[in-house]
Amino acid sequence: MGAELTLTTSVFPSDEATREYFDRLGRGADWRPLAADPDAEYDEEVEVDLSALEPLVALPGSPDRVVPVTEVEGTPIDQVVVGSCTNSSWEDMWAVGHAIRGKRVAPSLSLVVFPGSARILEVMAR
Residue-wise pLDDT tens digits, 41-92: 989 888 889 899 998 888 888 878 999 999 999 999 999 888 876 667 878 8
Cα 61 to chain centroid, rounded: 19
Q: pLDDT per residue over 98-126, tens digit each?
A: 998 999 989 999 998 888 888 888 888 87
pLDDT of residue 110: 94
Domain with 93 in it:
3-125
Domain total in the chain = 1
Beta strand 79-82 pairing with 110-113: parallel
pLDDT of residue 6: 78
